Structure 1
């Protein structure tokens, strides 16, 4: 039986980094009553990919709060201090923080916040008069403002959607169950960071001595993450501001050209893979019996039942071949979709079709959705507007800045300074489609 309706100024749905940042930065703002609803029983951040030794691709100083409020009690440095590891971390250096430690930091921050409701699954968001009514498995809530932060979902090729889930699965679920692939012919599809980490994990025998291990990527090689200082200015607020005002066609081109800044592979991971392959030759290791890497190759179709026949096509020549596989791991990225619980108000939202099968709710510069409803009702979208706000939207880099912008918009005053910072590139003077 549902409990009575509770009222809050703001309801945030999802307790990932985006809404944890929102809650942490809202904590000192006395005129906001905020509640965060999370369907899981605790914070879980990519649990299926917390592979041993997997490190962050962003600085831990780009945490929940520091770029917006370096004095916050919810910073990564405050976490290290509380855990009595700060001195060790300084000596070790912050360039190699593991993803498992960052997840622990997120759990620590959530535990310090008193307004995270775990185990509350949102089933519907409706309009009732001049407010939203949110129904969960526990109760209902009324609010004038919702902040959506449910993250993205695994992107699975059409040929893999109806395959047996124990043999063909997205890499995000790799560690969610015990995997025993001894003697199996395993194929990893996808040449980004996740694909590289999964390949290295399997090559090291974490799932048993494989029969064969094959890695397939449509890229022309296994490319490194673009991580130069100039490239990293793509993750500055002023780049996002500039990007927002470009045409949709221009934004698509920009994102395509920027892909390796978010989807490339850490050089340390590349070196570890290459060293492991070299050592395999030196020591003549017999498992896996064969290791192959195919670049500039797409996986086109999957036939039969395990063992499967995976159709591969060489992109430049168009040559097709079949590859026999017992296990296929899909490191094929993620996409944005409209949550099913928004169905009752879906007709009031404007939706944009984005690359990779994504659908984005159309938002303004402050991440507020274009909503055909009562003026007092506002829906903000976090981590769901990459085609509109740029490469950093689905990255940790600008999480505190975006949360600050949303909070300022909600309360109608400047609680956090979101103005442009310094940088060496003058984005405001660049017109992507302009001519001299």
Structure 2
């Protein structure tokens, strides 16, 4: 059986970028497996006009190799769209453009294997080296079972749509959909006549804005409400010094913190990457203002600091057609109220997990059952199993950031090859995220003196 230097499981943007950066390297024989039939990125949210929230430089490869033939600009040139993109004068590609670009890259890479559902990963002896081991990966295909051997693994299995407990298992006549399935469900949502968006962030705002055009107008008139437990409809913080937190230095700082402090920071920093674009916030307000200027009440309500704590289906509601009854709790007031709706869109995010195909003891886990990811993105004692996109709890805001993916992939390839195929920047920020060494020593000395007294 052939032995690969590197085997990736899951082909999202991060592993796709790794495959693109590994392709020209003579000392990396790589293969990447995915259970899907081809590349797809958030197809349920390809709302017309929606953009990604990072500049085009945050493509699969540019921040590691600006000369790569797999860059976003290379795709624009190859498809005859470079000059229109230039004239448009916006750093932010359309979401549909980014998906097309990724699929263009995927079509060019011979290292990708689609339709492979990984069922097990175990250690096996390396026949070429006495006492060493390899990883044996078993995958189920439409034509039977395949086995692969590799020296290094990269786990890029991504995250799965998450529904809060209150909305899980609801059984009723109207649709209850996660935003990942929004577009295929849009007609059914609107047909019910009353839609409630539950959740926060960019996805919730995009769905609300998309449905707002038909709210209170005929034909296709429907009621639209938005419920979020966030204290406000906050915009993503995108100032330059804040953006320096997507840096190697801040990641070093974040990784060094105790697990409890990292978990608190992770919740506090959500507006850094889970907020709403400022332009979209303004567009929603302007649309509401324009509709209200016609002199009629817009059938919509926006509720912040409000959580859905329970939900049920009332078959006798809405003139016998049935409707959902949501129990809402306002955090500041501590009061509850019922809200009725015919359909629900859950913009409640995604959750990662450790895949069940990994043999017991293969990876290190923390006290909460999550990957115990080291600074160089490994999760095993021998530093041969890497994680991409599953380290938000250990590495903070850089984990889900598309713009930092190429930097992380450069670190992984350096670990695999024992050299630095792509230059790895160690310092890029003007600010410092901890105390200078002299300051730390002075504080430590003062503390020791205080204890002595």
Task: State the TM-score, normalized to the length of structure 1.
Answer: 0.90
Q: Does 1:124 align with 2:127?
A: no
Provide closer, same or farther for how the CA distance between residues 284 and 15 of structure 1 changes in structure 2, counting only shifts above 3 A.
Answer: farther
Contact 1:6 1:140 in 2 (8 A): no
Q: Does 1:133 align with 2:149?
A: no
Equivalent residue number for residue 74 of structure 1? 70
Provide closer, same or farther for how the CA distance between residues 353 and 299 of structure 1 changes in structure 2, counting only shifts above 3 A.
Answer: farther
Equivalent residue number for residue 179 of structure 1? 187
1:115-264 alignment runs, 5 A limit: 115-129=111-125, 130-138=133-141, 139-164=146-171, 167-177=175-185, 179-180=187-188, 181-205=190-214, 209-264=220-275
> Any idea what the Cα deviations from partners look like across 1:134-163, whole Å, max 9, x if unmatched?
111231111121101111111210122212
Separation in 1, partners of 2:257, 2:306: 32
> Any idea what the Cα deviations from partners look like across 1:202-247, whole Å, max 9, x if unmatched?
1123998353211011122211110000110111222112211122
Equivalent residue number for residue 278 of structure 1? 289
Contact 1:65 1:74 in 2 (8 A): yes
Contact 1:35 1:116 in 2 (8 A): yes
Separation in 1, partners of 2:186, 2:288: 25
1:170 Cα offset (Å): 1.1
Q: 1:214 aligns to what SS in structure 2?
A: strand
1:395 Cα offset (Å): 1.7
Contact 1:188 1:195 in 2 (8 A): yes
1:348 Cα offset (Å): 3.5
Separation in 2, partners of 1:294, 1:169: 20
Task: State the TM-score, normalized to the length of structure 2.
Answer: 0.87
Which blocks of at least 5 consecutive residues in structure 2 are unaligned?
126-132, 315-321, 444-453
1:168 Cα offset (Å): 1.5
Separation in 1, partners of 2:313, 2:233: 29
User: Which structure has the larger Rg over C-alpha atoms?
Assistant: 2
> Any idea what the Cα deviations from partners look like across 1:25-51, whole Å, max 9, x if unmatched?
111211111011121111111111111
> Any idea what the Cα deviations from partners look like across 1:40-87, whole Å, max 9, x if unmatched?
111111111111111111111011111111111111111111112112
Equivalent residue number for residue 21 of structure 2? 25
Pairing partner for 1:99 from 95, 100, 124: 95
> Any idea what the Cα deviations from partners look like across 1:291-347, whole Å, max 9, x if unmatched?
0011111111111354111000011111100111111111011111112222xx133
Q: Does 1:326 align with 2:342?
A: yes
Equivalent residue number for residue 352 of structure 1? 366
Q: Does 1:16 align with 2:12?
A: yes
Q: 1:9 aligns to what SS in structure 2?
A: strand
Equivalent residue number for residue 47 of structure 1? 43
Pairing partner for 1:311 from 294, 319, 327: 327
